[in-house]
Amino acid sequence: MTHFLSEDEVAFQGMVRDFANTQIKPLSAKMDREAQMDPGLVKQFFELGLMGIETPEKYGGAASSFFMACQAVEEISRVDGSCGVLVDVQNTLVTNAMNKWANEGQKEKYLPKLAKDWVGAYCLSESSSGSDAFALQCKAEKKGDKYVLNGQKLWITNAKEADLFLVFATIDKNAGYKGITAFIVEKSFAGFKVGKKEDKMGIRASSTCELIFENCEVPSANVLGEVGKGYKTAIETLNEGRIGIGAQMIGVAQGALDAAISYAGTRQQFGKPISSFQGLQFQLAEAAVKLESARLMVYHAARLKDAKRPFLLEAAMAKYHSSKVAESVCSTAIDTFGGNGFTKEYPVEKFYRDAKIGQIYEGTSNMQLQTIAKTLLLI
């Protein structure tokens, strides 16, 4: 299906798909097994221009659309969800936030690096602030021409590979969300270190780590946006990022469905391919319908974002639906493989494990339902 893609979008989709199939796919199982992203792949992401898709050309980026960033995430996730989320966080969260909220000096300093060779990480979650994102304990204290950060962050994607971290901390706990401020933190800053790496069920090659701030000194010039307005940066960026997670989920689901369809055509039972049995045909047909509905929702939300039209409701719906669909489609794929699907010899068990995270990070499914309900009811 073309989904009304422009010529440039079709060409870009084909390029990323070819790259994913030839360069990422052969390494996927090994990266999952070792829980380690291949450094050579990350280098290739930069060389192909996949790490600064929306970044303006004057800063070394591709000056393309948000939709094309989502295309890249989808096509990469079709082969490997871990690689998909690395590219997703770089584009839909970190670079997106920098494009929108950074001042000119910050853009000139950091956007070229993010487009060329610096991986970025988005640092909001803490042990006591998951869904309650603004119950932050990480504290920033102004001292002269710098801020001193103390505290921890948890479950930070890309943490091991990142050189730049967008960190949300509070300058006044008594002020609630109005005390939250965003900071640009470089990996080399004194008092900052990457801590424990989580051993996860899925997207295992994606690094998810604790961050530790012990009197970490951040120049005042590295405040992103306005002091005390970090909550606005966080909310608006995450709204966009959820569309990217939707793209990851439809990519994972498509990879699982592709594997199931291929297997059904070759697996013989009762003297004929299992694809000839109507019961299985209907299961795969239903999975394809679910996946197409999720894809259209993700694409619609991305198009709205590019058109600078409201997309809060559509982004929440797209993330909620696509993550549910991904789990369902991947489960059907395992059923198609039977006992083989439950082993690591075949790819569908990995797709299933990778799909689960979609209902958790960047806003759980319950939080998406809350957003949808509040928007519909004007609460």
Give the per-residue pLDDT at 42.
98
| Residue 115 maps to a domain | yes
* Residues 295 and 166 occupy one common structural domain: no
φ, ψ for residue 322, nearest 5 deg = -65, -35
* Residues 252 and 368 occupy one common structural domain: yes
| Residue 356 maps to a domain | yes
* Residues 196 and 133 occupy one common structural domain: yes
C-alpha–C-alpha distance, residues 321 and 7, integer Å? 28
Q: Read off the CATH number of the domain in which 27 is found.
A: 1.10.540.10
* Tens digits of residue pLDDT in 41-53: 999 999 999 999 9
Picking from 7, 76, 56, 16, the residue whose alpha carbon sits closest to that of residue 250 is 76
* Residues 272 and 211 occupy one common structural domain: no
Give the per-residue pLDDT at 354.
98
Domain that holds residue 318: 232-377
* Tens digits of residue pLDDT in 115-150: 999 999 999 999 888 778 778 999 999 999 999 999
In the predicted model, what is the mean pLDDT of residues 329-341? 98
| Residue 155 maps to a domain | yes
Residue 349 has pLDDT above 80, yes or no: yes
The answer to whether 104 is a known catalytic residue is no
* Residues 158 and 280 occupy one common structural domain: no
Pick the residue with more confidence: 280 or 127? 280
* Residues 97 and 180 occupy one common structural domain: no
Domain boundary among 185, 203, 228: 228
Per residue in 74-112, is it b (16+ CB within 10 Å) or e — as a string? bbbbbbbbbbbbbbbbbbbbbbbbbbebbeeebbeebbb
C-alpha–C-alpha distance, residues 188 and 218, integer Å? 11
C-alpha–C-alpha distance, residues 291 and 375, integer Å? 25
Q: 54, 74, 161, 362: which is the annotated catalytic residue?
A: 362
367, two tokens: 């939080």
* Residues 305 and 245 occupy one common structural domain: yes
| Residue 2 maps to a domain | no
Q: Read off the CATH number of the domain in which 130 is found.
A: 2.40.110.10
Q: What amino acid is encoded at 229 in this protein?
A: K
Query: pTM of the full predicted structure?
Result: 0.96
DSSP for residue 140: E
**How crowded is residue 264: how many other Cβ atoms within 10 Å of its Cβ?**
20
* Residues 262 and 326 occupy one common structural domain: yes
| Residue 370 maps to a domain | yes
Q: Read off the CATH number of the domain in which 271 is found.
A: 1.20.140.10
Q: Are 72 and 64 in contact (CB under 8 A)?
A: no
* Residues 110 and 132 occupy one common structural domain: no
Picking from 371, 134, 52, the residue whose alpha carbon sits closest to that of residue 239 is 371
* Residues 50 and 93 occupy one common structural domain: yes
Domain boundary among 228, 259, 275: 228
* Residues 217 and 306 occupy one common structural domain: no
* Residues 216 and 258 occupy one common structural domain: no
Provide the domain count of the chain.
Answer: 3
Domain boundary among 66, 96, 119: 119
* Tens digits of residue pLDDT in 57-108: 999 999 999 999 999 999 999 999 999 999 999 999 999 999 999 999 999 9
Picking from 138, 210, 143, 214, the residue whose alpha carbon sits closest to that of residue 179 is 138
Place 1 in a pLDDT band, splitting at 50, 70 and 90.
low
| Residue 1 maps to a domain | no
